[in-house]
Amino acid sequence: LVDVIQGNREYKPCLYLYNKIDTITIEEVDQLARMPHSVVGSVNEHLNIAEPLEDDLLKQKMWEYLGLTRIYTKRKGSPPDLEEPVILSEIRRGTSVKSLCTNISTQMLRDFNYALVWGTSAKHSPQRCGLNHNLDDQDV
C-alpha cells in the first residue's frame, strides 16, 4: 500500500534458479519446476544449464524476463552484420528505432530521416519506418 501511495519504488522481474537437482527426487524437482518464476537445473550434470556460449533453458528464460531483443544492423550496399547484434531492452529504453539510434550514436539520431526494416515487425521487406516503429527480435 505504501508503494502505491508514494510511487517511488520500481520492481524488476525475478527468476529463481534451483541448482543441484540431481541430488533430489523427481517429485521434488517437479514441485520446484512448477513454482512461478523458477528454473531447475544442475551445473554438474549440465541439466538446463550449458556452457557459456551454448544455448540453454536458463539463458532463454533470462532473455525473456529481461525483455531483451537482438537487432542486426546493415550498412547501405552491404549484407547485414549477423555476428554482433545490438541488444535492446523493453525495460530500459524500449525497442523502437529511436532507442536503437540512441544506442548507436546521438549523431545518427540527429541526422535520421527513415530506416529500412527487414523482419517480423515490418509489414513488407524492406519497410520504410520512422523513429516510433517498434522492432522485434532479430530484425535487420
pLDDT value of position 64: 86
Residue 109, Ramachandran bin (φ over 0: left; ψ between -120 and 50: alpha; else beta): alpha
Instruction: At 21, give phi and psi (nearest 5°).
Output: -75, -10
pLDDT value of position 2: 64
Q: Beta strands 38-40 and 16-18: pairing type?
A: parallel
pLDDT value of position 82: 86
| The amino acid at 132 | N
Write the DSSP string, 30-96: HHHHTSTTEEE-BTTTTBS---TTS--HHHHHHHHHHTEEEEEE--TTS--EEEEEEEEETTTT-SB
Kindly report the length of the chain.
140
pLDDT value of position 3: 67
pLDDT value of position 26: 92
**DSSP conformational letter for 110:** H
76-115: string of b/e by CB count within 10 Å (b at 16+)? Answer: eeeeeeeeebeebeeeeebbbbbbbbbbeeeeebeeeeeb
pLDDT value of position 6: 72
pLDDT value of position 91: 77
pLDDT value of position 76: 85
pLDDT tens over the chain, length 140 residues: 566 677 777 777 788 999 998 899 999 999 999 999 999 988 888 888 888 778 888 888 888 888 888 899 888 888 888 888 888 888 778 888 898 888 888 888 888 888 889 989 888 888 899 889 989 888 89
- Residue 41 near residue 57, CB atoms below 8 Å: yes
